[in-house]
Every structure is written in C-alpha cells, then in structure tokens.
A and B are shown apart, each in its own frame.
Chain A
Amino acid sequence: MTLLAEKPSTPSPVRGGMLETAQIGRSFPAAIRKLDPRVMWRNPVMFIVEIGAVFTTVLSIVDPSLFAWIITVWLWLTVLFANLAEAVAEGRGKAQAAALRAAKQDTVAYLKDGREIPATSLKLGDVVVVEAGQVIPGDGDVIEGIASVDESAITGESAPVIRESGGDRSAVTGGTKVLSDRIVVRITQRPGESFVDRMIALVEGANRQKTPNEIALNILLAALTIIFLLSVVTLQPLAIFSKAFNAAAPDTVALDGNGVTGIVLVSLIVCLIPTTIGALLSAIGIAGMDRLVQRNVLAMSGRAVEAAGDVNTLLLDKTGTITLGNRQAAEFVPVDGVSPADLASAAQLSSLADETPEGRSIVKLADLGEREPGLMRDTTFVPFTAQTRMSGVDLPGRQIRKGAASAVMKWVRQNGGHPDDEALEIVDAISSSGGTPLVVASMMSGEPARALGVIHLKDVVKPGMRERFDEMRRMGIRTVMITGDNPRTASAIASEAGVDDFLAEATPEDKLAYIKREQEGGRLVAMTGDGTNDAPALAQADVGVAMNTGTSAAKEAGNMVDLDSDPTKLIEIVEIGKQLLITRGALTTFSISNDIAKYFAIIPAMFAAVYPGLDTLNIMRLHSPGSAILSAVIFNALIIVALIPLALRGVRYRPSSASALLRRNLWIYGLGGVVLPFLGIKLIDLLIQFVPGI
C-alpha cells in the first residue's frame, strides 16, 4: 500500500510533496478534456479566457495574421495551463485512489444466517462472520469475539491490531484482513459509503465542495473580472473617438478606425482579469487536501481543513499527546540516615523483575552499573498484586518492598518497624507537586523493617512539546490539556508542558461543556478523541480528529480521521489549514499586482500611435505594439505554469504572528508581483522581437 507516507515520528513543519515532470505529462490528456465548456464554466475566470480564445480563433480564421495566430495559440495555452494545474493536483490523488481500489477487491460477505453475498450488496445492520484469512467485507462493529486484524491496507501500519467486541476497540474497517480467530461484525455503513469509498472519493477530489473561504475569494475574483471586463469593453467607444480625432495616425495591430482590434481587446481582458489565481485556485484546494492525506489524515470535508487554520483553542489529551504514555522515575528521596546510593540500590533491586514502564524507569534511573556476581542467586521476586499494592524482592538475609505509601508502611509496622513521619512528609511533598510517590522499605534479617526513602514518579512531558506550545501561542492558539488527573497533578504538568490551560478530572461532559463555552466566546476549537464517549465533544468541536484506532462512533462524529492515531497530528493539521489559506491569499495578491506591469505594456501599445505622448508610459521600452501585447499575454500564460509547483506545495509557512506573516508575504508576493512581470515581459519582448512581422 503506497498511500501512506512515512509516519513522522516527531512534529515537523509542514512540507508538501514535490512536483514531478512525469506527472505533468500524464496529466495532459485530462487537461485537454477539461476544455469542455460544461466543465470550464465552473471556473468563471478561466471560462472567460476560453470564450476569448474561441473568439480570437474565429478572428484569426477570418482575418489571418501571424500576430493573431500567436495570440490565439497563447490564449489557448493559458486555458490549458490552468487545466493542467488542476489535473496535476487531481492526478496525485488518483494514483492513491487506484491503490485503494485494488485493496477493495471482490470480497464475499458470509452472513451469520449462512448466506454468501457480494460485499457490495451488504446493507446497514447486516451481521457477518469473518474468520482468519478473510477480508472484512464492510465497516462495522465487532459484536462477538476477538481477533487480530491487519489494517495495513488503510493505515500502512504492518503490525496487526486487536479488535474485540465491546469497548473502544470494536470498530473494524472494510478491506482490512482478519489474521487470527473469528469475529462477528454488525455492518454500520450503507452500501457505497464505506470508509474506503469515502477515502477514494476524497483523494480523487470527486464532488469536491468549495470551502467557505474559497467561495468568498471566488466572489472577489468574479467582481474583479467584471470590473476589468467593463473597463475594457467601455474603452471601445472612447478608442473610436480618439482615433477619429487623430485620423491621420497610422493603423496598428492594436487600433484602427473601428477602434481597438478584437484580438487586442481580448488580450487586454485576459491579461487584466485575475487569471493567475483563477487558474490555480482549485489546484491549491486539492493539493491542500492531498497534503493531509500524505500525513495520513483524512478530512471528511475541505471546510474542516479550512476551519483548522482558524482554530483558536486546541484541546489535547495529556496522556500520549503531551506526556509519554507512562510515569517515569524522576528522583530518589532518601530519609535521614540513608545514603542516596543505598536507596537507589534498594529501589533498583526491587524493580529488576518489574516489567512495567515505571519499573523499567526506576532501574534506568538508578543506573548502578555492574553488580557483584552472585547477588541474584537465591532471590525471589514478589510480584505486585492488587491486594498487597506493592512488589519487591527477597534476597538472602534481606527483604525489599516498594509500593504505595500506605501499603508499604503497613508492611513496615507488621515487621516490627516504627515508621517515622519523615517518609510520610516526603510522600506528601511529592504528591502535592503532582508526582506519584512510591515508598521503598527494607528489612535485614533479625532487624525491624524500616523505610529507606521515596521514589518520585512523574509524568514526563514529551521532548519538544514546550517549544511546540510556544509556537502555537505565537500563532495565537491556546492549548488546553485534558486529563483525568486531580487538579494538583494536572496543574504541575500543565505548567511544565507550557500549556495555557488545563481541564482536570475531565469527564466527557466537562469536555463538551468546555468546548461550548469556548465557542460561545467566538473561538474555534479543535480536539482529538477516540472513545465512544468522546463522540459528542468531537461532533461539537469545529475540528474533531478521530483516531483510527477509535470506535466507529468517534470516527463518525469527527470531521477528520488520523490513520496513524497520533494525537500530536492536530498541530500539523492546523498548519496545513493555515498554509492553504496563505497560499490562496498570496497568489491573489500576486495576481492583482501583476496587472500594473501589464498596463504599462499594453496601454502605450494600444494608443501611442494616436497620442505619441503615451509612449512615455512604455517604461519597459518594448519593441513594438505587437511585441508588447504578445509579451504580456505570454507572460500571463507562463506565470501559471511557473506557479503550479508553488500551488501544489503551498507557500512556505513558519509559525509566527499575523503581523510577521503579513509583512513577509506582502513583500514577497505583493512587491514581487509588481516587479517580476516588468522583468518577465521585458525578457519575453527581447526574444520575440526577432520573430519577423512582430
């Protein structure tokens, strides 16, 4: 399965896929098919270019000239390049969809009542039996049994996962394969609406809905297009009047007694209307979704991706997202009269057989190096039980125990010891700092037992999270930690991780209430979740990312699914959402700024023959009216191709404040948009002036 890019292990800034030249070649037929006016009219800006191209084609046939034909060819190329951008963006998704389809082979469903039907005719509520080696025929919940399932077709993760009835691991996905055992599954999808079906539709960009910002931008572009159409069309009576006033002026390719020639009028319109952004707009949107898919996130709608860019508040689960999954030993605190080394030694001995992450971390923290040989002979390990609430080791002549304070103290007392208050004070201090204390006690044979000290276990914040949250803050996003811990513990971890707020002892209802409160204040909230009880909160959040390991209820409620089930992904999703909007804004600015240079090329070219003074505006000193107009048209077409990689990759995005972002993008795309076409048009003019007759 090639769907999945390598799973990023550490959070990294957003990158996009690169554009391959071969892809352009493959997309060419699709680009030509898109010339169909029924397809084109959905993109009003480019549709007008196409109408213009048809018009100049007719004019070129009726009254052929080299100039007319070159303009016509380049107008068609402009349309084609726009289609190419879209086709390339779609092509990348199509390759992924094809791979998904292959996985969705002709599966047979074995109904519980014994019938065999094709998987495609499964209905909602059907109950099927799946045995080892069979492919699960559709999305559903396990209602009976437990099985290991290979979900690599969806997630790309080769390690099998356990799916069992009841609880939060009951959801199975159609197209995945049962490796062992037998499960009974109730189908929860309608025919043709399975997860894989939706994935295919998403990555293919089929029935892609325009997102709210895209619609708003389209309105602005349409308005600009109308303005420029008006300003060019209404120019005609004025041009006729001007030419008549100075009838002695020679006719040019641009202007004769009938006014501005049709070819030049169309050229002017095409150069002025925002073709650059118009051509790339849908490619930007498709590529944005694609970037998410490359990160193994499936967004159920483009709207959700856009909302991710707007998020004000991120709700993050503590465990697994902010902290490593388990508590780690951080410190040994001995009581008076015990050396730290003795405590460390005892703690390590008691944990040697403890396979829990906590136990391992104690051994690692003690780090006593080699022990004298023979020490471990005749030792008996005492395992942890729920009754004793402690574990330990019995060495020849010595017993060591570690565990919860009350349990260990009881053991000390039972063995003749008189625990002093000092150990309890340490325990309280650790508890109040948000840590978990484990008391270590030992008993030499013949002596009373005594407490040696306390192991401080604490939640360890994942490396790099603090910086990540600082970054979020610079972007104007508040991070909120959700945890089941008590407020004291939660507060300690929250301040260590650097989150802005926390929600302690959080129940699903608390989460939902918190989200609603934030939204009341006008904020947009993003969260991740996996359990069924997360579903209401996921549905309420503006961006709800369900983990793929989660229940179908959670996946149904969220508007994105993370196939890697990595809650940290939320941060990347936000960045991709922002990058999508920035790319649109930057290219719009660029597109409009371009018009200034085009005016300086075309206006003198049209009218300098009638009013020689207007040649002052020809600051690029372009060769002739024909070459000037042609250069502008060619530049206008080529800039689309040149910007396809940028549209697909997205504008570079570094988390920073809005002012810094605006300043940077304004310089690059605003000023760049003003300057670049002057250079580009001049350069093209230098080349095409050698074409005879231009």
Chain B
Amino acid sequence: MAGWLFVITLVLALVAVYRPFGDHMYRVVTGTRATVVERGVYRVVGVDPAAEQTWGVYARSVLAFSAVSILFLYAFLRLQDRLWLSLGLDPLPGHLAWNTAVSFTTNTNWQAYSGESTMGHLVQMAGLAVQNFVSAAVGIAVAVALVRGFAARRSATLGNFWVDLIRITLRILLPICVVVTLIFMVAGMVQNLSSGTDVTTLTGATQHITGGPVASQEAIKELGTNGGGFYNANAAHPFENPTAWTNWLQLFLILLIPFSLPRVFGRMVGQNRQGYAIAAVMAILAIASVALTIGFEVHGAGTVPQAVGAAMEGKETRFGIPGSAAYAAVTTLTSTGSVNSFHDSYTALGGMMPMINMMLGEVAPGGVGAGLYGLLILAVITVFVAGLMVGRTPEYLGKKIGAREMKIASSYFLITPALVLIGTAAAFATGNNATALNVGPHGLSEVLYAFTSASNNNGSAFAGITVNTPWWDTALGLAMLLGRFLPIVLVLALAGSLARQKVTPESEGTLPTHQPLFVGMVVGVTVVLVALTFLPALALGPLAEGLS
C-alpha cells in the first residue's frame, strides 16, 4: 500500500510539473535575451552569443569542452594533496584519476573509490560538483540541438553550444539546486567544511563522524542524473538521504528534467502531442520497470525473503522495499546511478531489472538530455520500419529518414551494446572477472552489470566486485568515454542532417507519430531490440540464477 502511494504520488507530481517546467526549459533554450551575468560570462570566455554553429562546430565544441574538463579534473585529482581542504588525503593513483575524471565528465559518476576516504572537500566541490553541473548541461544541450534539427527547415546550423551550456547551467540547474540544497539541509543533511568530529559512542568506542558540503552536492547529483555520492554508501548513507521523504524528493529530482524534456521537444517542433507521445513511451517503460522490480523484491524467491515477507537484505529499513526497489529502478532508468540499497543483494530477477533498464539504452526517461536523444533515435528506427509498412519513404516530423539518417541511427544503437558485450567478454577472456566476489551466474551478473553501467553512463554499481584495478579502471574508463561521446557525435550529425532537409507537409498518407499505435510500437521496438541483443548474456547471469 505504502509502495503504491509512493509510486503514484511520484507519477502525479511529475505529471503536474510536465507543462510548467517543460515550458520554462523551452523558454530557456529558445530565448535570446541574455542576463547581465550571462553577458559577462560571454565576454570573459569570448563567445558571440549570436553566432550559430553547424553540427560539426557544435560537436567539436562539445568534445573540446569535455576534453578540457577531463584534463582539468585529472590534474585536480592527481594534485589534491597540494590544494586546500584536502583533509590530508593522498592524491589519486593514475588509473583511478583517469577513471574518475572520465566518469564525472561523462555524466556517469561511476565511483571506483569511496568518497569519504579518497576525496577532499575542494575536489568534491570545485572538481566533481562542477562536472555534475556541466556534464548535465552538455547532455541537455545535445538533446536540444537534435530537436532543433527536427524543427529546422533547410538550416545549416543548430544553435550555439556555449550559449546553450551557459543558459542551461545558470537558468535551469543552478536555481533549482539552490532551493533543493536548503530543503535538504532542513531535512538533516550535512552542509559544512568540517573535517569531521571524533565522538565517543555509548559503548566507549571512538567514532569518526564526517562532515562536508553534502547537501549542495546531493542536489545536483540527483537533478543532473549524475549519481556520484559524497559517501561510499551513496544515498543509503543517512547524511545523504536521511528520511523517507527525502528519498521521495530525490527520485522526483532525478526524474524532473528527463520527464519534462519531451515537453520541450513538443514545443520546439510545434506539436505538443509529439512530446506527449515520447513522454508516454518513457512512462510506459518506467512504470512497468518499477512495478516489476518492486514485485520481484516483495515476492522474492528464497527461504529468507519468504520468511521475512520480502527481500530485505541490503536495503535500508527507513526506505522499505518500495522505496528501495523504486529507487533502484529509477536510478537505472535514468543515467543517475546513485543507490539507496545494494543491487547485488537483490533477488536474481529483481537485480536483473536495473540491468535491463540500462540495457534499454537509458531512455525511460534516461539521463538529462541523453534520455531524450536516445529515445528519439529509437523513434527514428521505429519510424523507418513503420514508415515502410505504410508505403512511403519513412519520415519523422516531416523529415525523411533516408540512408544517411539510418546510417547514423544504426551506428548509434550499435555502440552501447557493442561496448557492453565486448567489455564483458573481454573481462572473462582475460580473467579479470576474477575480482568478482561471486562465481557462477551471480559472478557473471557482477561483471555484466559493471560494463552495462559504465557503457550506458549510469554509474551505479552492482557491487560485489573490485574494480579499482588498473585493468578495470582503464577498461571502464574507455567504456564510459566511448559510450558518451560517440553517441553524442552521431546525434549531432543526425541533427545536422535533419536540419538541412525541408519539411514534407503532413497528409493522410503520413505515418502519425503521436498516436497510441506508434507509442506502442516504439515501446515494442525498444524492448525487442534489447531483448534480442542481451538475452544470451542475461540467460547465463540473472536468468540462470533466478529461474533455478
């Protein structure tokens, strides 16, 4: 009952903000007036806000910005002992610094370290949190550029990356984070620069109570679907997620931008119903996934779960099964990856759900921006097959889906599965799976999960596997890097290709892409493509474990 209430209130809240918040984002990304602060920033970084970029320039801007971010963060991590507020912690070893730098720049936030014993406050605030903001903004900017491609008529340009980045950061992300930080502080999250307090507990032992700028980091961690925790325990830690209602609020923040972006899409292409259709696809997949995850955990097989009434291992009692299972589903349906329970301890099938969520390509609703562009690519592929079936050259929103568009869309959906499958196979072929705690199907799941999470830029960990080794840090770093930027380049190429086209007017012969039939078909294509790609691997992991 409480579970239903939790999920239903979450859905209602998202429905309520869809229009107003979507419209706000629409105004931010389409507006032209700059604030004083923005004009100042433009002048400092030397950007002409009126200059439009072609897709190539836009892509190069994204790549250049991200490359500089990675280098900067890498240097930061390697030199943290020489900077302020390091709490006396050592610099990170090379492979871990590379992995972490890539991880935060790609909006993955895979953490091969534990925050409280590795990162000083300055790195957390000026290194990691900054990337939490800008990597989220990059995702939204790329999605907006793709939508501009759909909306444009015979245009060579897609807007200006620098303007998008700055406006999205200053007008969407920052204001919400300020408010949310205050709310989180009220709720009991820590927000200070203390290096911690040693207290003597009732039993007489000494305990180290940490401090730090947690609440501020927490706000953008969820809003930007980043997921990198201040503490190793992430959102299971009472300082990061103190109560059941902050748990609810965190899920709302995670879903807020991804679920409202379809509104921006609808507004920009001039047909709100197209936005509703995309949001409907996201909602169907998300609700099904949340329901299944909760179901598997509540009715989990096994002696202990059935004796206790549910699979409580690895879950916090303050959240309970629904609050934990829903969190697990939501954090993987988006590219967040923060956790409030331990996925490794889930029932086999319950633990398979987060994996499947990520394998879907994180499109329901996905990471900020990344979810929308991922789903639009799937919609393009669906349109292609469906369009042929109605006897016309397939077109989506008046743009023809020809050989060039298919080349890009096909390459896009090849990338992540290829990274996941090749990475997993490589881990087994090279024996690096040995760092997994378990053998048999569960051990296989641990490895599969790691590559699925990294390649899809999720960042959640199944746990139960040691990944801070040079091989794992390097391999997962590559998976994150390629899994983020190859798709982004392809998305922008698609946007450029669409923008150049003229718009074919709609007629009775045009495939309607806003009706339930099409929504159902996109859901079907998404699920079937994923099932077909990953079923063999899943069969030897969670399915083998869960069906025995």
B is bound to A:
yes
Interface residues of chain A, those whose CB is within 8 Å of chain B, are 212-213, 215-217, 219-220, 222-223, 226-228, 230-242, 245-246, 268, 272, 306, 309-310, 312, 473-478, 520-523, 577-579, 581-582, 584-586, 588-589, 592-593, 595-596, 599, 603, 607, 610-614, 616-617, 653, 657-659, 661-663, 665-666, 669-670
A233 to chain B, nearest CB (A): 8
Q: Is the CB of B540 within 8 A of A234?
A: no
A593 to chain B, nearest CB (A): 8
A140 to B189, CA, bound (A): 90
Q: Is the CB of A611 within 8 A of B547?
A: yes
A612 to B540, CA, bound (A): 11
Give the residues in chain B near A616, CB-CB below 8 Å: 547
Could you list some 25 contacts between A and B, CB below 8 A? A213-B402, A216-B402, A216-B406, A220-B381, A223-B414, A227-B533, A230-B421, A242-B444, A245-B439, A268-B536, A272-B532, A309-B393, A312-B509, A476-B510, A521-B505, A523-B504, A581-B393, A596-B528, A599-B531, A611-B544, A611-B548, A658-B509, A662-B389, A662-B517, A666-B517
A657 to B392, CA, bound (A): 12
A272 to B536, CA, bound (A): 11
Give the residues in chain B near A522, CB-CB below 8 Å: 398, 502-505
Q: Is the CB of B388 within 8 A of A217?
A: yes
A36 to B443, CA, bound (A): 46
Q: Is the CB of B390 within 8 A of A658?
A: yes
Q: Which segment, of B210-218, B422-430, B461-469, faces chain A?
A: B422-430
Q: Is the CB of B385 within 8 A of A588?
A: yes
Q: Is the CB of B388 within 8 A of A581?
A: yes
Q: Is the CB of B508 within 8 A of A473?
A: yes
Known: A219-B407, A235-B536. 15 other contacts (CB 8 A): A212-B393, A230-B421, A234-B422, A238-B425, A241-B428, A473-B508, A477-B507, A478-B507, A521-B505, A581-B391, A585-B387, A603-B539, A611-B548, A613-B543, A613-B548
B29 to chain A, nearest CB (A): 26
Q: Which 10 A-B pairs have the closest CB atoms?
A: A476-B509, A585-B388, A578-B391, A476-B507, A613-B548, A223-B410, A613-B547, A585-B389, A476-B508, A234-B425
Q: Is the CB of B509 within 8 A of A666?
A: no
Q: Is the CB of A240 within 8 A of B391?
A: no
A501 to chain B, nearest CB (A): 14
B387 to chain A, nearest CB (A): 7
A581 to B388, CA, bound (A): 5
A599 to B424, CA, bound (A): 21
Q: Is the CB of B388 within 8 A of A230?
A: no
Give the residues in chain B near A233, CB-CB below 8 Å: 425
Is B488 interfacial (CB 8 A cutoff)? no
A669 to B392, CA, bound (A): 17
CB within 8 A of B392: which of A309, A596, A611? A309
Q: Is the CB of A231 within 8 A of B533?
A: yes
Interface hub of B388, B393, B406, B517 (most chain A Cβ within 10 A): B388
Give the residues in chain A near B69, CB-CB below 8 Å: none
Is B433 interfacial (CB 8 A cutoff)? yes
Give the residues in chain A near B507, CB-CB below 8 Å: 312, 476-478
Q: Is the CB of B403 within 8 A of A661?
A: no
B185 to chain A, nearest CB (A): 47
A579 to B391, CA, bound (A): 6
A588 to B394, CA, bound (A): 14
Q: Is the CB of B528 within 8 A of A592?
A: yes
- B 365-393 binary contact with A (CB < 8 Å = 1; else 0): 00000000000000001001111111111
Q: Is the CB of B441 within 8 A of A611?
A: yes
A266 to chain B, nearest CB (A): 14
Is B204 interfacial (CB 8 A cutoff)? no
Q: Is the CB of A312 within 8 A of B505?
A: yes
Is B537 interfacial (CB 8 A cutoff)? yes
Q: A216-B403, A476-B510, A611-B441 are in contact. Are A665 and B389 (CB under 8 A)?
A: yes
Is B417 interfacial (CB 8 A cutoff)? yes
Give the residues in chain B near A231, CB-CB below 8 Å: 417, 421, 532-534, 536-537
Give the residues in chain A near B113, CB-CB below 8 Å: none
Q: A246-B440, A666-B521 are in contact. Are A653 and B540 (CB under 8 A)?
A: no
A465 to B339, CA, bound (A): 66
Give the residues in chain B near A220, CB-CB below 8 Å: 381, 384-385, 406, 410
B31 to chain A, nearest CB (A): 28
Give the residues in chain B near A219, CB-CB below 8 Å: 403, 406-407, 410
A475 to B511, CA, bound (A): 11
Is B411 interfacial (CB 8 A cutoff)? yes
Of all chain A residues, the one with the shortest Cβ separation from B544 is: A611
A449 to B392, CA, bound (A): 64
Q: Is the CB of A239 within 8 A of B533?
A: no
Q: Is the CB of A653 within 8 A of B391?
A: yes
B505 to chain A, nearest CB (A): 6
Chief secondary structure at chain A's binding surface: helix
Q: Is the CB of B403 within 8 A of A475?
A: no
Give the residues in chain A near B540, CB-CB below 8 Å: 235, 238-239, 241-242, 607, 611
Give the residues in chain B near A588, CB-CB below 8 Å: 385, 388
Give the residues in chain B near A665, CB-CB below 8 Å: 389-390
Q: Is the CB of B509 within 8 A of A657?
A: yes
Give the residues in chain A near B394, CB-CB below 8 Å: 213
CB within 8 A of B508: which of A607, A612, A653, A657? A657
Is B535 interfacial (CB 8 A cutoff)? yes
A208 to B290, CA, bound (A): 51
Q: Is the CB of B539 within 8 A of A477?
A: no
Interface hub of B393, B502, B543 (most chain A Cβ within 10 A): B393
A332 to B109, CA, bound (A): 88
B75 to chain A, nearest CB (A): 36
Is B413 interfacial (CB 8 A cutoff)? yes
Of all chain A residues, the one with the shortest Cβ separation from B426 is: A237
Is B179 interfacial (CB 8 A cutoff)? no
B510-536 contacts to A (CB < 8 Å): 510-512, 515, 517-518, 521, 524, 528, 531-536
A585 to B390, CA, bound (A): 8
Of all chain B residues, the one with the shortest Cβ separation from A242 is: B540
A213 to B401, CA, bound (A): 9
A604 to chain B, nearest CB (A): 8
Is B418 interfacial (CB 8 A cutoff)? yes
Of all chain B residues, the one with the shortest Cβ separation from A661 is: B390
Give the residues in chain A near B405, CB-CB below 8 Å: 216
Of all chain B residues, the one with the shortest Cβ separation from A575 is: B391
A230 to B443, CA, bound (A): 21
A669 to B389, CA, bound (A): 10
Give the residues in chain A near B381, CB-CB below 8 Å: 220
Q: Is the CB of B393 within 8 A of A582?
A: no
- B 470-512 binary contact with A (CB < 8 Å = 1; else 0): 0000000000000000000000000000000011110111111
Interface hub of B405, B533, B545 (most chain A Cβ within 10 A): B533
A386 to B368, CA, bound (A): 80
B531 to chain A, nearest CB (A): 7
Of all chain B residues, the one with the shortest Cβ separation from A592 is: B528
Give the residues in chain B near A272, CB-CB below 8 Å: 532
CB within 8 A of B428: which of A213, A238, A309? A238
Q: Is the CB of B410 within 8 A of A474?
A: no
Give the residues in chain A near B421, CB-CB below 8 Å: 230-231, 234
A610 to B421, CA, bound (A): 21
Q: Is the CB of A475 within 8 A of B508?
A: yes
Q: Is the CB of B537 within 8 A of A234?
A: yes
Q: Is the CB of A216 within 8 A of B517?
A: no
Give the residues in chain B near A230, CB-CB below 8 Å: 417-418, 421-422
Give the residues in chain A near B536, CB-CB below 8 Å: 231-232, 235, 238, 268, 599, 603
Of all chain A residues, the one with the shortest Cβ separation from B536 is: A235
A523 to B392, CA, bound (A): 13
Give the residues in chain A near B515, CB-CB below 8 Å: 659
A312 to chain B, nearest CB (A): 6
Q: Is the CB of A236 within 8 A of B403?
A: no
Interface hub of A213, A246, A582, A584 (most chain B Cβ within 10 A): A213
A493 to B168, CA, bound (A): 58
Give the residues in chain B near A215, CB-CB below 8 Å: 403
A612 to B547, CA, bound (A): 8
Of all chain A residues, the one with the shortest Cβ separation from B546 is: A613
